[in-house]
Amino acid sequence: MSGAATPETATDVEKQTDSTVRYIHPRVILMGILVSMGGFIFGYDTGQISGFLEMSDFLDRFADQTDADGNPAFSNSRSGAIVGLLSIGTLIGAIIAGPIADKLGRKYSIILWNIVFIVGVIVQIVTTTKWYQIAIGRWVAGLGVGGLSVLTPMYQSETAPRQVRGALVSCYQLFITLGIFTAYCINYGTEDDYSGAPQWRIPIGIGFIWPVVMAVGILFLPESPRWDYRKGNVDRAVNTISKSYGVPETHQQVVREVRDIKAKLDAETAGGAKHHWYEIFTGPRMLYRTILGIVLQALQQLVGANYFFYYGTTIFTSTGLSNSYVTSMILGGVNFGTTFLGLYVVDKFGRRKSLITGALWMFVCFMIFASVGHYALNRDDPQATPSAGTAMIVFACLFIAGFASTWGPIVWAVVGETYPSRYRARAMGIATASNWTFNFLISFFTPFITADIDFAYGYVFGGCCFVGAVVVYLFVCETQGRSLEEIDTMYVLKVKPWKSSKWRWEDDLTAQNMVSLGPEARQAAKRTEQAQERREVASGEANGVERGEPSNAATATR
């Protein structure tokens, strides 16, 4: 599929509507898949460890105690260190990824984090008997996973055509789930077919493939056009946008996008001031948005999906299902399969409706799961209450389907598109670090909490799901189909989130609003108005986009 033909006349340009870019260009699909390898690495690495802890050779080499039958076993502190150091690494990786991405660019940062991950894999695979070498290797690999968990959605949301941005970033989640599922399957295969070190060295070794594919593949993809534009590589940025939309550089969509990027950059550089990191809290409407990102990512963990992914085996053993591999395969399979639904709903129904519906769905599932587990299941002898056990498995799967099609992918998409370019890398880094912090806390505290309140723990997650629905209703703007620059304007103008899907900037610029808005919001409104005026002029121009190097002659000042 090639793009629309180059327009010959003004009328041709006018005819260019969004419909000419409604298909997804194969180049964009390729980009989606390749960059989503960052998600695969994330999923593969987090998915493989629970299997390792049960492998006989891994236990023989690294365990620090014996169980009642005299078999090697891990103490909580040692298994906690092996599992948890990855999360600590990811947390640090996510925080430092932002500033590095602003300096090095998105593309070369992706290569860097893949190399870091590979170093972590090497440290682990050459380990013979030292458990702490495995733990340190996981910490290093975690740095890479954390960096990629910021870079992947960032690169995708900065490069994707607006019509499919949600679906493309959701591809990242699809690959996380595919990574988890693949790790489960490979662990199952090697545990069954091998004895000795290959049991765990083969899955770790296969882990080399994904970062090599990603790091080499990204060399053939362009740099993020938004980063390029900010660094003065204007021609390249315009070219990348036109290629990702699959239309000529003169197309109205490309003109519009470039003009919006320019307007924002001009406004930022007009002040000429040096920018400080803390502006992610003090910049226009940034405190609101930074906190929103942190809360959404915390809630993405607190809705409780990892309760099932990390402790599914234990949970289902206590409901009477004893084959841990079957459990993992069921959960991993449902998770992967239903993420496809997420790719569809995010751009079909928008972020708000999908997240609110998903949160309420997960709330209901957890309420039923927790009530059956707490009141109906015979926890001492689960076989005596088989229907309770079955109901719990069904509602766990329904929960996972709800998570995988909404909160799993869409939170990554929303966080990738909520911040303006200047703050995006750092703000996304902090929000992603919040995800990893709560990921770690849930993995660490779940065994203790479950020991105290058994399945009533599900009420805690259910409550968080409900809070998630309220937070989205009150604070998240609908961003479906809007450019990143338009989204920024919407937040700066303090558009009411529950009215945001119907919001049109034209309606907001009434004299009444202009007076009641603060100076920053007024300037943002002005910028949007000017950008729109230029778009209209541009759609009458047959000679294509006026590129305009970023200049200090600001179209508006902040």
Kindly state the smallest distance separating residue 179's Cβ from ligand BGC, in Å.
9
Task: Name which of 148 and 305 has its Cβ closer to ligand BGC.
Answer: 305
Helix axes 386-405, 351-371, angle to 10 degrees: 170
Kindly state the smallest distance separating residue 45's Cβ from ligand BGC, in Å.
11
Binding span for ligand BGC by CB under 6 A among 7-15, 123-131, 305-313, 358-366: 305-313
Kindly state the smallest distance separating residue 331's Cβ from ligand BGC, in Å.
9
Kindly state the smallest distance separating residue 157's Cβ from ligand BGC, in Å.
15
> HEC states along 69-127?
CCCEECCHHHHHHHHHHHHHHHHHHHHHHHHHHHHHCHHHHHHHHHHHHHHHHHHHHCC
Within residues 436-475, the interface with ligand BGC by CB under 6 A covers: 439
CB atoms within 10 A of CB 70: 7
Binding span for ligand BGC by CB under 6 A among 169-177, 379-387, 474-482, 524-532: 169-177
Please name the residue ranges forming H helices in 160-273: 165-193, 198-206, 209-218, 225-230, 234-245, 252-270
Task: Name which of 269 and 297 has its Cβ closer to ligand BGC.
Answer: 297
Task: Name which of 175 and 503 has its Cβ closer to ligand BGC.
Answer: 175
Distance from C-alpha of 498 to C-alpha of 351, rounded to nearest angstrom: 12
Binding-site string for ligand BGC from residue 118 to residue 157, where x marks contact by CB under 6 A and - marks none: ----------------------------------------
Angle formed at CA 338 by CA 441 and CA 417, multiple of 5 degrees: 65
Within residues 329-388, the interface with ligand BGC by CB under 6 A covers: 335
Kindly state the smallest distance separating residue 374's Cβ from ligand BGC, in Å.
25
Binding span for ligand BGC by CB under 6 A among 124-132, 171-179, 313-321, 494-502: 171-179
Kindly state the smallest distance separating residue 104's Cβ from ligand BGC, in Å.
25
Kindly state the smallest distance separating residue 424's Cβ from ligand BGC, in Å.
19
Give the closest residue to 57 by CA, choosing from 178, 159, 166, 201.
201
Element (DSSP H or E) covering residue 66: strand 65-66
Task: Name which of 300 and 313 has its Cβ closer to ligand BGC.
Answer: 300
Distance from C-alpha of 290 to C-alpha of 285, rounded to nearest angstrom: 9
Kindly state the smallest distance separating residue 159's Cβ from ligand BGC, in Å.
20
Kindly state the smallest distance separating residue 433's Cβ from ligand BGC, in Å.
12
Kindly state the smallest distance separating residue 224's Cβ from ligand BGC, in Å.
22
> Which residues are within 8 A (CB) of 548 and not within 5 positions of it... i.e. 6 or more apart?
234, 262
Distance from C-alpha of 227 to C-alpha of 239, rounded to nearest angstrom: 13
Binding-site string for ligand BGC from residue 391 to residue 430, where x marks contact by CB under 6 A and - marks none: -----------------x----------------------
Binding-site string for ligand BGC from residue 246 to residue 265, where x marks contact by CB under 6 A and - marks none: --------------------
176 lies in the binding site for ligand BGC (CB under 6 A): yes
Binding-site string for ligand BGC from residue 306 to residue 325, where x marks contact by CB under 6 A and - marks none: x--x----------------
Burial of 279 (0-12, 13-18, 19+ CB in 10 A): middle
Give the closest residue to 481 by CA, choosing from 259, 226, 160, 255.
160
Contact 409, 345 (CB under 8 A): no
Distance from C-alpha of 406 to C-alpha of 68, rounded to nearest angstrom: 44
Distance from C-alpha of 46 to C-alpha of 43, rounded to nearest angstrom: 5
Choice from 16, 87, 173, 532 touching ligand BGC (CB under 6 A)? 173
Choice from 111, 254, 305, 346 touching ligand BGC (CB under 6 A)? 305
Kindly state the smallest distance separating residue 59's Cβ from ligand BGC, in Å.
24
Distance from C-alpha of 155 to C-alpha of 68, rounded to nearest angstrom: 51
Task: Name which of 337 and 481 has its Cβ closer to ligand BGC.
Answer: 337
Please name the residue ranges forming H helices in 232-379: 234-245, 252-270, 279-282, 286-302, 305-317, 324-348, 351-371
Contact 433, 91 (CB under 8 A): yes
Kindly state the smallest distance separating residue 400's Cβ from ligand BGC, in Å.
8
Binding span for ligand BGC by CB under 6 A among 71-79, 84-92, 302-310, 359-367: 302-310
Angle formed at CA 520 by CA 514 and CA 526, multiple of 5 degrees: 55
Binding span for ligand BGC by CB under 6 A among 29-37, 115-123, 175-183, 536-544: 175-183
Binding span for ligand BGC by CB under 6 A among 163-171, 260-268, 301-309, 456-464: 301-309
Binding span for ligand BGC by CB under 6 A among 85-93, 176-184, 465-473, 513-521: 176-184
Specify the 3-state DSSP secondary structure of 65: strand
Element (DSSP H or E) covering residue 505: helix 505-508
Within residues 19-58, the interface with ligand BGC by CB under 6 A covers: none
Task: Name which of 227 and 369 has its Cβ closer to ligand BGC.
Answer: 369
Kindly state the smallest distance separating residue 38's Cβ from ligand BGC, in Å.
12
Task: Name which of 127 and 339 has its Cβ closer to ligand BGC.
Answer: 339
Distance from C-alpha of 558 to C-alpha of 290, rounded to nearest angstrom: 19
Burial of 54 (0-12, 13-18, 19+ CB in 10 A): middle
Distance of CA 333 to the CA centre of its chain: 20
Distance from C-alpha of 153 to C-alpha of 408, rounded to nearest angstrom: 13
Task: Name which of 169 and 321 has its Cβ closer to ligand BGC.
Answer: 169
Size (the chain), residues: 558
Kindly state the smallest distance separating residue 421's Cβ from ligand BGC, in Å.
24
Give how many residues touch ligand BGC by CB under 6 A: 12
Distance from C-alpha of 139 to C-alpha of 136, rounded to nearest angstrom: 5
Q: Please report, as ranges, the residues that interact with ligand BGC according to CB under 6 A.
A: 173, 176-177, 180, 300, 305-306, 309, 335, 408, 435, 439
